[in-house]
Every structure is written in structure tokens, then in C-alpha cells.
Structure 1
Amino acid sequence: MDHRALIAAIPAQTKEQLQQRTDRAGLRHLTLYVALLGASTAGIAVQVPLWPMLLIPQGLLLVFLFTLSHECTHKTPFKSGWINEAAGHLVSVPIILPFTWFRYFHLAHHKWTNHPGNDPELAGKPRPEDWTSLLLYLSGWPYWLGMVKTLLRNARGRIDAPYLPARQHGAIRTEARILLGLYALAIFSLFFTPILFWLWILPVLICQPALRLYLLAEHGLCPPVANMLENSRTTFTNRMIRFLAWNMPYHAEHHAFPNVPFHQLPALHNWTQTHLKSTSNGYTEFTKDYARSLNS
């Protein structure tokens, strides 16, 4: 059974319940997330005893803001549209991910998931196939370089990707210019105080491999087929990672039915679990499997 047949088989009332969005669930999750980030930020800022140990939780909380930005592109974490838009734009700043641009990039990824020629996540290139390319990928360098190039290109109005609608070109250009201005101010501030280096730059550099590995598991080693229950991986993991990633380890479920908000994905999993084709029992298992697939 492919994802279309599975979703069609779910009773209409259940599908309606699965798609119910609520500000309460999203704001509760976000409040706890921000509280944890605020605590680690304060600890580093005032240099509490053993404060360098806070760089890892700080970095993890920052880099995994990607998953909230991702969810906001679908307008599902909150019922109120303006909260989705505000959260999406705000959390994209520390991870250098222009939100308006990313929304259409990501929707194209959903349309062409794992298609070698059309999925913009692949951009015509395979995922890491040897140890050298894997280590480079995990470093985050290709991501940072790619996003700087994207911002500069968008800021100049060179917006030509087929998945970016012409009606949004002006917004994408303005967004890029605002972000470049903010990053220029951040770099300038380093001449006067190193606070952003410790609170932002160093933590996201340290923890980028964790996010890259998590993202690699979403579709890595999955076949280039149309069935979302096969071209996307659900990874069975612990509550901490599911919290950080806004339940996105249920990734096959998300691709099969992207209108389902994060807090309903465990319920959707009850319908998909016997039909999933690509799964891993944790990220350690996936990493071992991926390592075995690499060319020497």
C-alpha cells in the first residue's frame, strides 16, 4: 500500500481530527523550548560554573530551530497564521535560512521527494557516497556556503529557480537584504564584544553535525520512488530528540500527510506503522547502516 491509498483508507472523521491545528499545543512546546534556550543562554552569558558545558545544549537548541522553521512552512504548528509566519521568520535568523525562500524550496522537496533530478535538496547531486564527502557534509560547510550564495543571489534579484513563484520574488529579495544587514551588524559587533561568538556562532558550529546527521536520516538510503512511505524514513528515537525536532523523526508520516501538525504525528503513526518501508531503530542504527554503504 502506498501513501495515497493509505491516506484514502483513513476514515474521514479521523482525517479531520488528525488535521486539527491548535495554538495551545504549539505554544506549549515553543514555551518550553524557549525556556530551555533562555536558560542555557543566560548561563553562558553570566559564565556560571562549568559554563562551557552549556555550549552543546545551546547549539542543539539553536540548530534544531530548523525543524520549527520547517514546520512553519507548512503552517501547521499553530492554528493562527500570523504566529506561524512570525515564528518561521524569527527562528530562521540564527540558522541563516531565509524563510520565504525556504517555504517554496521545501514545497518543491515535498513534490519531488528523493527524485535525483528534481528534488532541490539533492540539487542534482547525490548524498555523501564516501567518507570524505560525508565528513564535509557533517561539518555543515556546504550548507553555510550554499546559504550565503543564496542570500547574495536573492538580494541581487537573481531569483530564477522554477519553484520560486514570480509573485514572491520581491519579498524574497527584501528578505535577503534584511538578513544580510542583520548578519553584517552581528559581524561588526564582534569587534566590540565576543558575546555573539559564545552564544551563537560557536554553538551552531559545534552542533551542526548533529543536525546534518538527523537530516541525512530523513531520506538517506531511501529509494527514489513516489511512495512517501518508502522514500522517507521514520526513525524510532527517544522523547528528547522528538522534542528537539518537533516530532519530525516521524518523517514518513509527515511526507505522507503533510497537513497533519506535529502533535498529531504519533496518532498518524498508528495508521502507518505496518506500512512503513524505510525505518531505523534510532540514529545510531541509521549511522551504522549509512557507514556500511559508503565507498572506501
Structure 2
Amino acid sequence: MANSIDKAELKALYQHRWQPNLKIPLFYGIWIGLGIIAWHAPHWAIVWLCYLAMGYMQMGIVTFMHDCTHSVLFKAKWKNWAFGVFTMIPLVISFTAFKEDHLLHHRFNRSAKDPDAFTMGKRGIGDHILFYAYAVIGVVLTAVQFVIIFPIQKLRGAKALAHWSEIALHAVVTVSIFEWASSQGIAAEVFALWFWPLIFFGFFNSIRFVAEHYGTPWNAGQLAGTRTIISNPMNSWFWNNINYHIGHHVYPAVPWYNLQKLHVLMLPEINRQNAIVDKSYCAVFFDAMINGPESLKRNIVRNGKRNAATAGPDAPSASNGTSVNDESV
């Protein structure tokens, strides 16, 4: 990709600032506060609304952890590791496994070696089952992938030890909490307060995950193979600009609080490469649910049609790419 951003402007975007990370205790405070409200709520509707909101907040908290995988949430690497491990405790999976998978995803984005590219296949029965199962019970499949499958396949030596140590830590914390809860006669209530927000988090995570890359050109690089979703200011704020995903993939060392500025600077290159910018997570997700799992042939045809629909008579051609600044796909 031709670097169309001035080096001085890009250097400024790489700079760390501590003030934006004050959102971290704020988010944990909101999450805990919602749990307290749910615990004491007089009506079931309030309880379930709190569970839903807690899952949404967990999605925001996980986007902080996501920056830790690139060692950019904090300046010190050990702080990124410590916060990453801490954040993952309620989510079952290990930070080590997630980080290693995520870095491979960045390295091989939208290619046969991308560990996250399960939406691409031959549209067989197994592809359809996996695709729609992820949409419904993504949190379960994610746990299986990151607790068992990926670590056994990819992690060796110190990384494998770190992963299984984290899983052991999760087990100790979980057993300790539920033994205490059982002694107090509140085990069922504690389980509900953990489990149902986690299920809602999994659904939000599935929407985000599918929307970031589904339907983008296959094996076309970081920029063309990623989708930015403008979404809305509130969602962008709570999910820490993860929706500006093209910029993150091209410049993963830019902290979350500078991604919106990065998007503005990248717009000329995004338009030049005819990359995908959509407005709505839900629109992209529902489109994916209607069209089902991908195949290479369908991907080429789909992007060819999109190119023809969006390119003007004098517009440069883009290989399998698409630019949609005002269209929800």
C-alpha cells in the first residue's frame, strides 16, 4: 500500500496518552454497577436488560484487551500482558491463545493461513453449520477454539505453558467464587450474573467479528481485505473505535483513541483502493446471515458486482476491491 499519510502525522498518532485510558475504570464501574442493579432488581425485565447491557460493556472492555495484543494499550509490555490476563478471567479463554491467534490473523488477513477466516469455504453442510452456529452460540465455539483447539495446534513451549497456566488460574478463581457462593446459598444467582451477560457478549462479539471481514476481497491485503463500519458515535465510543477497522489493520500500533483520526487521514487511500466502508454493523451482519458462508467464486462475483456499481467511468480499477461510503452491504 502506498503510504499516503504524512510521516509526522502518523508519528503523532502512534503517541501514547494516559488520559483516554481512564475509560477503563469507568467501564468496569458501569459493568459492576449493572451487576448490582441486576442483583437487586425488583422485576425480571430489569434483570435481563442489565444482563444485556453487561454483555455490551464486556464487548467494550474486550476492545481494551485487544489493544494489549498489539502492546499498545500501555507503554510497558508487562502492563499489556497483565491487563490482558486479568480481562480474560471472566471470559474463560486465555490472553495468550487469543493474542497468538490474533497476530496470525493480522499477518495472514483474509487468506488460507488466516485462523479467523472460517467464513470462507466451499459452502458445504459443515460450512453452513459452523457459520450459523457461530452467529448463535459464538461464545461456546470461541471457548472451544481458544481453550483447546488452537493451543493444541499452535502453542508450544513457553507459550503453551503460559496458556495452560492462565486456564488453571481461571479454574482456581471460578472454583473459589462458586465454593463461597454455595456456602452463602447464592450459587445460582452468581452463576446467572456471570453466564447470561457472557452469552450476550458472545452475540455482540459475533456481530462485530463477522462484520469486520465478511465479503471483503479474498487475499487482497490488509486494507482491501478489511471493512470499516462508521456505526454511530455512541457505539464507536463504547467499543473504543474498533469499528474503524481498516486503519487498525494497516497500522495496528496506533492506539484505539487515535483510530478515528487515522481513518480521516486514510480516506484518500481507502477511496483509491476502493475499500469497503459501511454504515451499520447490523446491516452487514444480516446480509451475512442471508447469504451464508463464503466461497472464493461467490466472493469474486460479489466484489465484481460491487465494483461495477460503485466505480465511476473515470475511476481506477481495483482488484476485487470495493468502496462503499454510503451503502450498507
Given the alignment of the two structures, is residue 84 of structure 1 paired with residue 80 of structure 2, yes or no?
A: yes
Q: Which residue of 1 aligns with 2:229?
A: 235
Whether the 8 Å contact between 2:212 and 2:228 is mirrored in structure 1 is yes
CA displacement at 1:210 relative to structure 2: 2.1
Aligned to 2:132: 135
Measured at CA, do residues 76 and 190 of structure 1 come closer, stay the same or move farther in structure 2, by a change above 3 Å? same
Q: Which of 8, 12, 15 is the equivalent residue of 2:10?
A: 15
Mark the CA change 1:173 to 1:103 in structure 2 (over 3 Å): closer, same or farther: same
- The separation in 2 between residues aligned to 1:137 and 1:125, in whole angstroms, is 13
Alignment of 1:131-210 (within 5 A): 133-141=130-138, 143-148=139-144, 150-151=146-147, 159-161=152-154, 164=155, 166-186=157-177, 191=182, 192-193=185-186, 194-210=188-204
Do the aligned residues in 2 keep the contact of 1:23 with 1:80 (CA within 8 Å)?
A: no
Bigger Rg, which one? 2
On the 8 A contact 2:31/2:57 being kept in 1, the answer is yes
Structure 2 residue corresponding to 1:29, chosen from 23, 34, 43: 23
- The 8 Å contact of residues 235 and 282 in structure 1, kept in 2 or not, is answered as yes
State the 1:80 CA deviation.
4.0
Which aligned pairs between 1:62-141 and structure 2 lie closer than 5 A? 62-115=58-111, 117-122=112-117, 126=121, 133-141=130-138
Which secondary structure does the structure 2 equivalent of 1:279 belong to? strand
For the Cα contact (< 8 Å) 1:59–1:203, is it kept in 2? yes
TM superposition shift of 1:56: 1.1
Provide, for residues 185-231 of structure 1, a one-character-per-residue CA deviation record: whole Å limited to 9, x for no partner.
45556654223223210122134222201111011111222421210
Q: Where do 5+ consecutive residues of structure 2 fail to align?
A: 294-329
Contact 2:110 2:221 in 1 (8 A): no
- Partners of 2:91 and 2:217 lie apart in 1 by 29
Contact 1:140 1:209 in 2 (8 A): yes
Could you say which residue in structure 2 is the equivalent of 1:51?
A: 46
More relative contact order in 1 or in 2 (CA 8 Å, sep 6+)?
1
Supply the distance in 1 between the matched residues of 2:123 and 2:94 (Cα, whole angstroms): 25
- When residues 287 and 159 of structure 1 are mapped into structure 2, their CA distance, relative to the original with a 3 A threshold, is closer
* Correspondence list, 1:210-221, <5 A: 210-221=204-215
Of residues 268, 271, 277, the one that matches 1:279 is: 277
Shift of 1:234: 0.1
For residues 146 and 31 of structure 1, the distance between their equivalents in structure 2, rounded to whole angstroms, comes to: 26
Following superposition, the deviation at residue 122 of structure 1 comes to: 2.8
Distance in 2 (alpha carbons) for counterparts of 1:165 and 1:222: 32
SS in structure 2 of the partner of residue 200 of structure 1: helix
Compared CA separation, residues 150 and 271, structure 1 to 2 (3 A):
closer
Which amino acid counterpart does residue 137 of structure 2 have in structure 1?
G
Aligned pair in 2 of structure 1 residues 133, 151: CA closer, same or farther (>3 Å)?
Answer: closer
Aligned CA RMSD, in angstroms, stands at: 2.8
In structure 1, stretches of 5+ residues that fail to align are: none
Aligned partner letter, 1:25: P
Task: Output the TM-score relative to the length of structure 1.
Answer: 0.83
Amino acid at match of 1:33: F
When the two structures are aligned, how many residues end up with a matched partner? 282
Are the counterparts in 2 of residues 62 and 95 from structure 1 also a CA contact under 8 Å? no
Q: Which residue of 2 aligns with 1:60?
A: 56
